[in-house]
Amino acid sequence: MTTLQAGARTQQEKRPIRAQLTGLLLVAPPIALLALLVAWPAVSAISFSLGLIPGNNLLFSQGLHLIRSDHPTFQVYKALWGQPAFRADLALTVGVALWSTLSICVLAYALALYTHFHRHRLATLLRSLYLVPMFVPVVIASYGLLLFFEGRGWLGSLIAQLGAPYRSPIFHQGGVVLGQVWQGIPFGVLLLGAGLEQIAPELLDAARDCGANIWTLLGRVILPLNWTGLLIVATFTFIGGMGSFTIPFLLGPNAPQLLAVEMNNYFGSFDQPQPAVAMAVLTFLIASLAGGLYVFATYRQRKL
Amino acid sequence: MRGSGKRRFAALSLTLLGSAALAAPACGTTRPITLTFYSSGDVNVHHLWASDLLPMYAKICSQVHIRLVFSTHGTADQLTLDRLAAAKQAGKPSGVDLWESGLLLEAGQSGLLRKLSPAAISNLKRVNPEVFASYGGYGVPYRGSSVVLAYNSNHIAHPPRTLSGLERWIQAHPGKFTYNPPNTGGSGDAFVQAVLEQFLQPAESKAFFTGYAPQLEAQWKPGWHELIKLGKDMYQGGFYPQGNVGVLQALGRGSIWMAPVWSDMSLSYLAQGLLPSSIKLEQLQPPFYGGSAYIGIPKDSAHPQAAEAFLNWLLTPGPQAVVVHQMHGYPGVEWKYVPSSVQRKFAAIAENYGVGFSPKFDADMAQKWSQKVAGSH
């Protein structure tokens, strides 16, 4: 009897270990893949941008204007920062990311609120319309925006017919923000809308009964309850804007350019992989700051 | 069925006649072999090989089977270079016998390619020596293309013939000329280089085409001033469309009247009606630069003689005529070696083209342009 019990006990103890092992084995492939395809290249990129040039990587070691060093140095970053053109690129990139984040948050929130609280035909139409950008590939959409907003495009011709002056946003910062907003709206509205669904209608009714107007309702009830959703949208839009390539490549100015386009220029056309990699590291740092802010905020909210 | 039977008979009769000595130099082998050919480019290049040139060669050298591995837009070129380097490091064959790429000079300097010479490939004697030398002798230029000046003959009766004439024209017709940023395409690149080139010290100018010495770039300074000055007279007061195609489209829309363009692209646009027939082409004196597509032979190829024989054949009149007509390209050999009927057809542009800066100078030029000229207003 006792031996039987003991045997049963050890079996019970073993099972969690086996289960743990199975679990570990199951997550091992994606983690190994992540380490191999993301973590390792990231580490080698960072060390390359610090002046440590690997001999076995032809792509890195044959670049032009390499800064070589035996120990890590910030020379590459210093040299980049010394170029007014780079500072202009950085300012434009952060500017575009911030402007598009702000525009998307405001527009997507307005759309989400409108379609959530109204059930008439216009709202139903809007509900399907705001999803359209999601189904149009970004290259096609950018080209469409180009044809529509360009100086000699549809809008320009229409305004010219009316005799009014028209200054096209295309090939300027505004054009890139426009493209980013077009691309970001569906994700924003869907996420914020999903958050609004979670708010119990009773809460809103109760507030209304107490005499709250729409702004009080928004500021005191809806926003505090939907704060995480807004933060997610803002973070992801900002990070997306920092790394955006296709839209600024097609709609952006000749100079300055967004960092992703500039990285591509440096890596390919200018044959200077080192500054390109340094720009990538910087972009990643800025994006991870935004990511960190998001993690911090959601963590705090969960604790509350 | 009958065709293939005939071909087999032809091959058989050649061997039966004991003409191995005759067949060997022409095809580089008497036994059946397979050459693996890594090529890259746009779809028209793929078409050129798969539908025209390789079937042509199969009729001549039936014992040589050429396996085409194509990388559209050259996206796998870097991988092929890595593959050759890795094979050399491991001491194993790479499996590549022929390689068409823009990376031949780099690969050759890293000791991955055979040095080619007219001793083994006799038709190389017909190639412009400067064009051959610009890839360090590691590749056979089999087709080319040159940047030329396109103009709208509805508005322009007498286009400028020289660069200084062109610069005067631009200033006299603000907004009617533009070019693409040098890093987005060769046509704009060639224009920028032409402007810089006129100020180079004659004694050292040769270094810009064959070598690399960043300190010489100080000689570009007056050229940058010139380009910045021209900036306000460009289309829309200084807008540079993306890529060769962007410029051709602006020309086709009538937004601009004159621009540097690639000969092959604009000729095929004209043939397809994508450019109106009022657009004419001409070459400046001295000419804009051109470029060639080169094919090299990896050092570890198991069949170097057969590969060399194939490259030699590419420079003969038959395949060269295909290049000129199908690709609207310049021949790889000098114009005097193509039939006079072809020369007449391309009379306005049938000249040897200029040579581009070496790749490293070119990369620096593109970067400096984007900082100095594009960012100047």
- Map residue B263 onto helix, strand or coil: helix
- Architecture per CATH, domain A80-303, reads as Orthogonal Bundle (1.10)
Cβ distance B214 to A65 less than 8 Å, yes or no, reads yes
pLDDT value for B354: 86
Residue to mutate among A58, A90, A247, A267, with most B CBs inside 10 A, is A58
Cβ distance A88 to B375 less than 8 Å, yes or no, reads yes
Which pLDDT band, with edges at 50, 70 and 90, does A10 fall under? Answer: low
pLDDT value for B8: 37
Calculate how close chain A gets to B99, using CA atoms only, in Å. 18
Question: Which ipTM value was assigned to this complex?
Answer: 0.80
pLDDT value for B25: 57
Calculate how close chain B gets to A304, using CA atoms only, in Å. 50
**Residue A68 CB burial class (10 angstroms; 0-12, 13-18, ≥19):** exposed
Calculate how close chain A gets to B366, using CA atoms only, in Å. 6
Residue to mutate among B253, B371, B372, B376, with most A CBs inside 10 A, is B371
Nearest CA in chain A to B243: A250
- Chain B residues within 8 A of A275 when measuring between CB atoms: none
B312 closest CA partner among B107, B146, B98: B98
- Chain A residues within 8 A of B255 when measuring between CB atoms: 152
Cβ distance A254 to B239 less than 8 Å, yes or no, reads yes
Calculate how close chain B gets to A205, using CA atoms only, in Å. 56
- Chain A residues within 8 A of B110 when measuring between CB atoms: 58
pLDDT at A275 over 50: yes
Dihedral over alpha carbons A156, A158, A160, A161 (to 10 degrees): 170
- Mean pLDDT (chain A) is 89
Alpha-helix runs per DSSP H in B67-215: 77-90, 104-109, 129-133, 163-172, 186-197, 207-210
Place of tokens 């080139």: B197
Return averaged pLDDT per consecutive 10 residues of chain B, 377 residues in all: 37 38 66 94 88 95 94 80 91 94 90 95 93 91 94 96 96 96 92 96 88 94 97 92 90 94 92 93 92 94 95 94 88 87 80 85 94 84
- Bridge partners (DSSP) listed for residue B65: B34
Ramachandran assignment for B91, one of left (phi > 0), alpha (psi -120 to 50 degrees), beta (any other): left
Cβ distance B81 to A65 less than 8 Å, yes or no, reads no
CATH of B146-290+354-376, one of 3.50.50.60, 3.30.470.20, 3.40.30.10, 3.40.190.10: 3.40.190.10
In the 8-state DSSP scheme, what is residue B236?
Answer: G
**Residue A107 CB burial class (10 angstroms; 0-12, 13-18, ≥19):** middle
A142 closest CA partner among A109, A107, A195, A178: A178
For residue A196, give Cα distances in angstroms to A120, A208, A239.
Answer: 18, 16, 24
pLDDT value for A50: 96
Place of tokens 């286009």: B159
Q: What is the DSSP string of A135-175?
A: HS-HHHHHHHHHHHHSTTSHHHHHHHHTT------TTSHHH
Ramachandran assignment for B121, one of left (phi > 0), alpha (psi -120 to 50 degrees), beta (any other): beta
Nearest CA in chain A to B238: A254
Question: B2-144+291-345 falls under which CATH superfamily?
Answer: Periplasmic binding protein-like II (3.40.190.10)
Domain coordinates in residue numbering, chain B: 2-144+291-345, 146-290+354-376
CB atoms within 10 A of CB B6: 10
Q: Report which of residues A13 and A201 the model is more confident about.
A: A201
Shared fold status for B2-144+291-345 and B146-290+354-376: yes
Q: What is the mean pLDDT of residues A43-72?
A: 90
Cβ distance A64 to B371 less than 8 Å, yes or no, reads no
Residue to mutate among A270, A272, A279, with most B CBs inside 10 A, is A270
Contacts of B272 (CB under 8 A, 6+ apart): none
HSE-up (13 A, CA, CB side) for residue B291: 18
**Which two tokens mark B343?**
């020369």
Q: Which residues of B touch A (CB under 8 A)?
A: 78, 81-82, 85, 106, 110, 181-184, 214, 236, 239-240, 242, 253, 255, 359-360, 363-364, 366-367, 370-371, 374-375
Q: What is the DSSP string of B43-94?
A: HHHHHIIIIIIHHHHHHH-TTEEEEEEEEETTTTHHHHHHHHHHHHHHTS--
Residues B315/B127, Cβ–Cβ less than 8 Å: yes
pLDDT value for B339: 80
Query: With an 8 Å Cβ cutoff, is A270 touching chain B?
Result: yes
Query: With an 8 Å Cβ cutoff, is A124 touching chain B?
Result: no
C-alpha angle B204/B205/B207, rounded to 5°? Answer: 75
CB atoms within 10 A of CB B317: 14
N-to-C CA span, chain B: 67
Calculate how close chain A gets to B4, using CA atoms only, in Å. 46
Domain coordinates in residue numbering, chain A: 2-49, 80-303
pLDDT value for B303: 95
- Bridge partners (DSSP) listed for residue B282: B149
**Which two tokens mark B306?**
């057969």
Q: Report which of residues A298 and B212 the model is more confident about.
A: B212
How would you classify the pairing of strands B140-152 and B64-72?
Answer: unpaired
Residues B251/B275, Cβ–Cβ less than 8 Å: yes
